[in-house]
Structure 1
Amino acid sequence: MPAAENLLNGLEDQLFGELTVAKIWGVAASKLQDQNPPTEFPEHSYGKYQYNPIDYWTSGFFPGSVWALVERSIKYPKHFPLDKLNPVKLQYAARWWATNLPGQATRTNTHDLGFVFCPSFIREYELFGTQESLDVLVTAANSLATRFDEKIGCMRSWDESHNKEIHFTDKKKDFLVIIDNMCNLDLLYYVAAKTGDLRLSTIATKHAETTLKNHFRYPEWSCYHVVNYDQETGEPKAKFTHQGYEDESAWSRGLSWAVLGFAEAYGWTKKQQFLEAAINSAEYFFSRLSEDGVPAWDFDAPSNNIKDVSAAMATALGLLKIYEHTKDNKFLEKGVKLVSDTLKFTYNGESRFTTDGSVESEKDTLLDHSTMNNNEHAIRRHADHGLVYADYYFLAVGNKLLELGVII
């Protein structure tokens, strides 16, 4: 393994310092005096967070960010500011923020249950053995599995899809699968491993195999955002984008979901084709980076001035997982360089703990310059902003570096 100091090049303060913890704690603490736990959750920010209802797909990421810091405080206390924040208070905040999420576990109208539940409830179960957390995960996994169609070989991602030009509303005609769904498979694999329910892991593997067959453009390894399957034949009838620049363009966050999702699928199955998919997607991702090393929101957009930092962070986590499985240093080096280049471009380090333990902060997010959806036909079009899952994956990258022993 390369020397940590050479890899990180002084990034430890940004990855693990008290300013990073202060930023998350400032948002978390702001809701602790409310009479009831949150039912709205942070999503994007142009300084201060905009909140969405609990049934929105990003509701699990901020509670997951707090849980990522709980994990760090327990497993890696050397890299947590124990003198600034009592871990018991942090644990209380993590549970408070996640209190109402279990009510979403019975939903069968969404594929995003992995995004909602894995960031918090896997960590709580692994750290504390909380049976209630495992029960929530089991319920959510079984709900997600109801969306699997044997003929198509995938779980349905969206029941409907709308923008200013197209509308898909008939589930009998259209079966929409998005590349993002790869990152929900971890929920199925995890619950299968904990309960022995191999039906769940079989569904996850079949979904990954079908995605590998139909979502990629070969031989370059860019990918489509959405594949629409014919319900009768089980074959694709259309491939297009919902959040990228255009249907045949390379949307960078779509690639990041592919890198991370297939790296995770390989970790559970050890199927070589999944590892190759993760590696090839990552190699294509890196081949399209500009000199600054920060991904454009879409690699084929006319200008690369609009970035997507969330794509960088999810890809970096995927690269660390590839390194974990292969022990090939080049993936570690590429992952850390991606983080390093991104942090040079964006890091809001102005937060600080005050003498009374509260937080002063100008912005809610650690990282700016993500792009939620810059498609010209998007109903909700937002670009160049902070984004809750960019921060979440940044924290997850830090924890993975500690887990891998890159930082001691």
Structure 2
Amino acid sequence: RCERVLLATDPDREGEGIAWHLQQELEACPSLRGSAGKPSIQRITFNEVTSKAVLRSLEGAREVSTALVDAYRARRALDHLVGFGLSPVLWRKLPGSKSAGRVQSAALRMICERDDEISAHVPVEYWSVSADVEVGGHSFEGASLVALGEEKLGKFSLAKEEDAERARAAVESAQLSLTTIKETISRKQPRRPLTTSTLQQLASSRLGMSATETMVVAQKLYEGDHAGGTGEGLITYMRTDGTYLSPAFVQQCREYIEGEFGGDYLPQKPRLFASKSKNAQEAHEAIRPTNPSLSPSKLKKKLEPRHWRLYDLIWRVAVGSQMSDARAKTLSFEFSGDGVTLRSAFTATVFEGHLAADAEGAGARRAALEKMRALESLGEGDACETSGVVSRQHHTSPPPKFSDGTLVKALEECGIGRAPAPSPN
């Protein structure tokens, strides 16, 4: 006997649909009765499995949302119309075929069309010339030939081997000097907070994880089901199309950034990210750590390697999204003489900004900045010596085959959505 039943399924349309089904079953159950007859059945949602979030959700208990249930039923109907309608046709016409589906059939077409593009590609030959240049004790490897005589060279200017050999001979015989030093400063904004799609893309490109593996590991992090865990989740709900971050998290983040990195790494105002998606699930918060002060370094010995790598990625993107822009300096050098111009450029980060959240890259950034300071001693008019002049043959490449990450991105760009989330079981 109970007076109140709380339904705490996932905070999305599928979760709302499951809660609705449970409500139908519970209301029809004769053994479930309270003192006043039928118990009160209410819906609660929380975006993270932490004690604060669960207790806060109790204060916002509500009825099951009819609008979300309708959205769930419409999507299910579309899945059935496509899948149940086309799958039998496939089985009859193409023995051995698995099934059709709202997302998988569209994805299969995109893969086939990409393969057709690859097959139809006709390579175009072109050549490039480069040389190693030494000036003032500094070496510039692979400086590119960008001008020959009065002509500025484009990608296809050296179309044949004979053209490339004439250009190579001209570079070998030229007496070059450092003629131009150009300095530019660029700013790099932090990455937007992660959605399901961008998490899958980033995990694919950075960690080599498939979309399925990414979601299974993220589910474990969300549920707090990981080695050495306290039972509380480490990240927020991982099926979302929104880039919104809660004000409470943003404030925690800003306090952590100021204490850990200093005020220079904190923008004057919190960064707000408008969602680009028009999907029904964009109202959910972006994927982020539940506690920004729980840095990856504190969890490295407590999590399995796969879990730690994905948490590290999510933490760096979420915390970095609230940090200042990074600033980079680029020095572009031109070496000219006897109708030949070679160009080389070097870039270094002069202010880390949000990149400071990526501790692993700090050493490489410091080394690049030291080299940049040494290159600043060079002056226009310094004599140069060239060596290792080479001509290289190239061919245009066909578009690449889809990876897990690039296919997810292509589906998103076409407004198709994503496949249903796999079960971690």
Could you say whether these structures have the same fold, taking a TM-score greater than 0.5 normalized by the shorter chain as the test? no
| Structure showing the higher strand proportion among its residues | 2
Bin the TM-score by the shorter chain: under 0.3
Higher helix share: 1
Higher RCO (Cα < 8 Å, 6 or more apart): 2
Q: Which protein shows a greater Rg?
A: 2
TM-score of the aligned structures, taking structure 2 as reference length:
0.22
Q: TM-score, normalised by structure 1?
A: 0.23
